[in-house]
Amino acid sequence: MEINDALRGLFESIERVDWFGAVGEPIRTAVAQPLTISRVRSWPDTLRVMRTRQTDEFLTESRNLLYAESNAMSLKRMSQKDLARSFNRWVDEVHAEIEGPVNAACTRLPPDVAGEYRDTLRWLLLMASVVAYHGLSNMTNRLYASAFDLLADGHCVCGWAGEFPSGSLVVY
């Protein structure tokens, strides 16, 4: 897998984000239907949501679904072993592209939040990268595209409320 034009465009848009500049403000971002948004009102609330079982399950389950869908598109062209190697190399390339913006974004967070949020932000951007690369459009992928749009508009996507896939994306 290589970095294509859609992914390069995503990386360029990541560079322009005003990270967390709209935290606590009204959400004006259009999100994919039937995705719903729940709001938190403070950084301590953000930490509380980030530490829930629902958020852990959301990140794990949605990653698994996205990985399976992106790999299904390539299975006809290579073996499962080669596919895994290719995907891992691609992920390393994407991580190299997003690591600077992730670090810069986390400098704008309270220190207690930054330490815990860094991995969540890295995964959200990686998943948005998979969606951009493949042009995927099922619900899980629209969720990651919406999560990226919320981040790009300056909000903090901090977790999930309810049992995934029902429930809502939690945003500060």
Comparison of pLDDT for 73 and 89, the residue scoring more: 89
Q: Residue range 20-39: average pLDDT?
A: 88
Spatial CB neighbours of 46, under 8 Å, sequence gap ≥ 6: 40, 113, 117, 156, 158, 172
Comparison of pLDDT for 54 and 76, the residue scoring more: 54
Q: Does 6 reside within a domain?
A: no
Count of structural domains, the chain: 1
Q: Does 5 reside within a domain?
A: no
Domain assignment of residue 106, given as a range: 35-171
Q: Does 126 reside within a domain?
A: yes
Q: Does 66 reside within a domain?
A: yes
Q: Does 134 reside within a domain?
A: yes
Residue 75's pLDDT is what?
54
Q: Does 11 reside within a domain?
A: no
Q: Does 47 reside within a domain?
A: yes
Q: What pTM was estimated for this model as a whole?
A: 0.85
Q: And the tokens for 95?
A: 């991580």
